[in-house]
Amino acid sequence: MTAIRPITGTGRNDTTLRAIGISFVQAPTAMMLVLAVLSAIIWRTSAGPARWTDAAVIAALAVLRPFAEWTVHKLVLHGQPRRWRGRRFDPLAARAHRAHHAAPRDPRHVLTPPLVIVELIAAVWLGTAWLPGPLGPTAAAAVLAFALSTEWTHALIHSQYQPHSAWLRRLARRHRLHHHRNERYWFGLSSTTADRILRTAPDPAAIPVSSTTRSIVG
């Protein structure tokens, strides 16, 4: 995965938003997503003025976002290696996520690997190209912006920053439970909505401590 490098020579560390932000925007993962979002916005701008349908697409994607995030986290990132016709299939995204679970405090494994970001950007462009008129770039910009904000949230949660907002404190607490109590629950990162609806946000006291939080295999 991509590292969130500590800021040196500034008298700051990753307890401040400024330090974390500087490190974040210097990471290839963030730079690639920022460029992809800007490209989609430029593409959309060249297609004409904004319409109510743009807002409708963004709103619909915002509603779907927690469930997409939950699905990717549970089924892709926690996916197990598979064999088919003698060949082993183990996507980079899943391997990188296992490295993150093995050392959740290691900044080298916080952000999604650049190669996976390339795959994501390609999938988003292909997946939105069928939408009529300017809705394709609108959808692409929204999905990629959501991905960028998820990476930023993840960077904050795994830093030494002490959040002031109740929303971020709640997300950080749930994410720590996912890493240190039981990896089969609390899949939401930017929201707890999908976990609550899909019943993966139980009372922590009722859930036994898992022996595979570091390996997430088995």
Over the stretch 20-46, which tens digit does the pLDDT of each residue have?
999 999 999 999 999 999 999 999 999
The residue whose two tokens read 């009722």 is 206
Which pLDDT value is given to residue 133? 87
pTM here is: 0.90
Segment 75-82 mean pLDDT: 93
- What pLDDT band is residue 185 in, cutting at 50, 70 and 90? very high
Please say if the pLDDT value at position 7 is more than 70: no
Please say if the pLDDT value at position 55 is more than 50: yes
Please say if the pLDDT value at position 63 is more than 50: yes
Segment 203-209 mean pLDDT: 96
- What pLDDT band is residue 86 in, cutting at 50, 70 and 90? confident
Segment 66-71 mean pLDDT: 97
Q: Tell me the pLDDT of the chain averaged across its residues.
A: 92
Residue whose C-alpha is closest to residue 43's, from 152, 121, 150: 121
Report which of residues 216 and 120 the model is more confident about. Answer: 120
Which pLDDT value is given to residue 10? 37
Which pLDDT value is given to residue 85? 84
